[in-house]
Amino acid sequence: MRFVNDLNMPDHAFKAICLRQGRIEPPKLDYIGVSALMGAPLPRYLHARYWHQLEVKASETMNALQGQMGHLLFDKVETDTETEIHLKVEFEGTRIMGVADYYDPKLLTLGDAKFKQVNAVTATNIRGTKDLETQLNIYCWMARRQGLTVEHLQGDIYINGWVVYKAYGDSAYPKAPYLKLSIPVWEEPFTANYVRERLNVHDTRAIKMLRGIGVTSVPDLDEGMKIRLDAAMLEIPVCTDEERFMQPTKWAVMREGQKKAVKLFDRRHEAWEYIGAQAPGIKIKLSATERKGGYMKCLWYCNVAKFCPHNKTLDKNETAE
């Protein structure tokens, strides 16, 4: 993996961030982490298969910086609450590993902290709550198998970029820079079945082959073995629309001089019909603009997209703001 300091950050800062994100060592396939278990199998394979060709830019680490700094601070505090709970279980022949943020032995609460940008949170909705519920329930299931008593699950949402005056002027704006979520606890058989289903999804021939070869040995493989690996890769299920952050194409009715859309429509003719129904003085200032959709994760957030055989997203320059 190659590191690029495209922001010209101080060397110590960039290396510290990359180290905290686990980007120094090649991926290991003798176990599966909870985040990987919840995710799609194809990116996991591609990350291991092409690790020696991957490029990480400093700018790609910025969103994770706040969360990493917060977790480092939590680890320095001396309380009865235990932080960084390392979890490891063997389940049906597979080792599963994860790290819960904290465990409160007095409240019997297992918790996880998330650091989110303010645009990902409203007063009534927090992006990613479903994944947080799944993640914490897997941690709970693992912790109980290790002997911890867990009765409650809690999500702590720390909001970056929150400003107080907007909280009073916008009903949809979060009312505080911190939110506490009580996460429902799943029945253990339900969680075990979910884990089993996810393990089956990740139980691919390509991963098994790569595990046997060893990630660090991939650059030295002969062409025949690479071809066999690529053939096995095509058997891995394509990521779902949800996993790829699929967004449909929309038509935006725009008012002259304004950046925010007046209204969004699924079809071009609907947008123009709306414009046509307006008064003449308003109609003349309106126009319809196509906002192209696509798979946003593949386009902007997946660091193995260029190696993916199914990546047929729009060019970044073609995607409307």
Average pLDDT, the chain: 89
Kindly indicate the confidence band of residue 318, based on its pLDDT and cuts at 50, 70 and 90. very low
Interval 242-246 mean pLDDT: 93
The neighbour count for residue 285, using CB atoms within 10 Å, is 14
Query: Is pLDDT above 80 for 133?
Result: yes
* Reported confidence tier of residue 90, pLDDT bands at 50, 70, 90: very high
Q: Is 160 exposed, middle or buried (0-12, 13-18, 19+ CB in 10 A)?
A: middle
Secondary structure of residue 145 in the 3-state scheme: helix
Determine the 3-state secondary structure of 240 from DSSP.
Answer: coil
Contact 38, 201 (CB under 8 A): no
As a whole-number percent, the residues of the chain with pLDDT over 90 amount to 64
Q: Which fold has domain 79-195?
A: Lambda Exonuclease; Chain A (3.90.320)
Domain ranges of the chain: 1-60+204-237, 79-195, 250-291
Predicted confidence (pLDDT) per residue in 39-52, tens digit: 999 999 999 999 99
User: What is the spatial order of strands in the sheet that 263-265 belongs to?
Assistant: 263-265, 250-255, 286-291
* Stretch (H or E) spanning 137: helix 129-145
Residue 99 host element (H or E): strand 94-104
Q: How far is CA 229 from CA 49, 112, 207, 222, 235, in A?
A: 9, 37, 9, 11, 10
Residue 180, φ and ψ in degrees, nearest 5: -110, 130
